[in-house]
Amino acid sequence: MTRRLISLAAGIMPEATPSQLIECAAASDFDFGGMWVERETWTPSTTRAIRAQARDAGVELLDCEVAWIMPGAPDPWLTELVHIAAELGARNLLCVSSDPDMAATTAKFQTLVDAAEGTGVRVNLEFGIFTEVKTIHMARAVLEAVEGEAKALLVDTLHWARSGGTAEDLSAIPREWLSYCQPCDAPADGPDASNFDAIIDDAINRRMPLGQGGLPLAAMVDALPAHLPMAIEERSAALRDGFPDLIERARECARTSRAWLDGRAA
């Protein structure tokens, strides 16, 4: 069986600089890297430096994060993120929405998809109860209303499970909408859906290595195409505390992820 392609999701090391994210991807058993782009600190010179560093290190970026749709007028920064992702050679741009107006979310997402056409970047709408696009069904409704081959739907195991998603929901996603996914594990019992702080804590502190929690991870993996690259989204206080050295953290995340994936392939 072909070995699964995996990527170092940037959220695993929130304290890392862009340069360190490239270093960690290059020094560990990942096929791709992920990049977090901060509006306040990212400049055109950052784009040039990271593009050169990734090229020299042999690191291809699977994704850039995060294009966050907010209420109000369209934010030009989100379109700029599409161009940054394209200049970096990233395959995907992760997008979430906190705009409760689904018509506005759809229009803003369409703008990003239009900007991405022909660049090699696909704009991936992620759903989750921490956003206004809370379920896979809501995400599907947005994508069905958006035109363009650069649109995609991103499934994160935690958000899919916590929002009541099923394997049948995943199997029903049009295959052309899928560009990559974000697997992780976590405790089976999630937070109260009305407690936003607990939902965020669950997402950034309580995830677990693949196969070591209680999420229906195998059902997710089996319902998605075998060739789909995976950004391992193990955002975890335990991982951060246990491996303060960033390269060692990346290597440990790759090790546990490979062990579970290879075990299923054996």
The runs of H, that is alpha helices, within the chain are 18-26, 44-57, 76-88, 102-116, 136-145, 157-162, 167-171, 196-205, 217-223, 237-242, 246-265
Q: Which pLDDT does position 48 carry in this prediction?
A: 98
- Using only the alpha carbons of the chain, give its radius of gyration: 17
* DSSP calls for 95-113: EEE--S-HHHHHHHHHHHH
Q: Which pLDDT does position 63 carry in this prediction?
A: 98
Total-model pTM: 0.97
Q: Which pLDDT does position 1 carry in this prediction?
A: 55
Rounded to whole angstroms, the Cα distance separating 223 from 173 reads 10
Task: From first to last of the 266 residues of the chain, give the pLDDT tens digit.
Answer: 578 999 999 999 999 999 999 999 999 999 999 999 999 999 999 999 999 999 999 999 999 999 999 999 999 999 999 999 999 999 999 999 999 999 999 999 999 999 999 999 999 999 999 999 999 999 999 999 999 999 999 999 999 999 999 999 999 999 999 999 999 999 999 999 899 999 999 999 999 999 999 999 999 999 999 999 999 999 999 999 999 999 999 999 999 999 999 988 76
Residue type (1 letter), 116: A
* Environment class of 85 (CB within 10 Å of its CB; exposed 0-12, middle 13-18, buried 19+): buried
Q: Which pLDDT does position 264 carry in this prediction?
A: 85
Rounded to whole angstroms, the Cα distance separating 184 from 186 reads 7
Q: What is the 3-state secondary structure (H, E, C) of 138-174?
A: HHHHHHHHCCCCCEEEEEEHHHHHHCCCCHHHHHCCC
Q: Which residues pair with 34 in a beta bridge?
A: 63
- Where along the chain do its domains lie? 6-265
Q: Which pLDDT does position 266 carry in this prediction?
A: 63
Q: Which two tokens stand for residue 48?
A: 């040039």
Rounded to whole angstroms, the Cα distance separating 93 from 186 reads 24
Superfamily of structural domain 6-265: Divalent-metal-dependent TIM barrel enzymes (3.20.20.150)
Q: Which pLDDT does position 229 carry in this prediction?
A: 98
Biggest CA-to-CA distance, the chain: 51
Region class of 154: left (phi > 0), else alpha (psi between -120 and 50), else beta: beta
